């Protein structure tokens, strides 16, 4: 959009990758930049949010592919959905472990 290219669904795919990153990290991307600085860094310098080391590889792969500098290489949503469906068990197991750990850790705070 910033480079005045035609708007395609690939812009939404990039945004999905950002939302996925926000859900995983609980953070806002590019917090140390203004919106204009962030847009410039993304488009002209290839800056992307840092994916946590403990992120599930399948989710890391989805984000990385969604953020590809070449919009044509970004996966279509049907492929993203397929990737998420294929990894559903792994994702849900990871979420349950994280939730249990948070609940378990909070019981020791009292």
User: Stretch 73-88: mean pLDDT, rounded?
Assistant: 96
Q: Among 91, 12, 41, 96, which Cα is nearest to 50's? A: 41
Domain range for 85 is 9-107
Asked, for residue 1, whether it belongs to a domain, the answer is: no
Q: DSSP for 36-88?
A: HHHHHHHHHH---PPPPTTS-HHHHHHHHHHT-SSGGGSPPHHHHHHHHHHTH
Asked, for residue 4, whether it belongs to a domain, the answer is: no
pTM metric for this prediction = 0.81
**Cβ atoms 10, 68 nearer than 8 A:** no
Q: Distance (Å, rounded) from C-alpha 9 to C-alpha 86?
A: 22
Count of structural domains within the chain: 1
Mean pLDDT of the chain: 88
Asked, for residue 33, whether it belongs to a domain, the answer is: yes
User: Stretch 70-93: mean pLDDT, rounded?
Assistant: 94
Asked, for residue 3, whether it belongs to a domain, the answer is: no
Report the CATH number that the domain containing residue 28 is assigned in CATH. Answer: 1.10.510.10
Question: In the prediction, which pLDDT does 4 show?
Answer: 62
């Amino acid at each position: 959009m910033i480079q005045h290219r035609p708007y395609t669904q690939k812009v939404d795919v990039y945004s999905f990758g950002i939302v996925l990153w926000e859900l995983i990290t609980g953070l806002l991307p590019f917090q140390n930049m203004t919106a204009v600085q962030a847009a410039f860094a993304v488009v002209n310098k290839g800056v992307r949010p840092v994916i946590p080391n403990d992120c599930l590889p399948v989710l890391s792969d989805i984000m990385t592919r969604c953020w590809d500098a070449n919009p044509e290489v970004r996966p279509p949503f049907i492929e993203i959905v397929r990737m998420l469906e294929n990894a559903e068990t792994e994702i849900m197991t990871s979420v349950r472990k994280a939730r249990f750990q948070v609940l378990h850790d909070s019981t020791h705070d009292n």
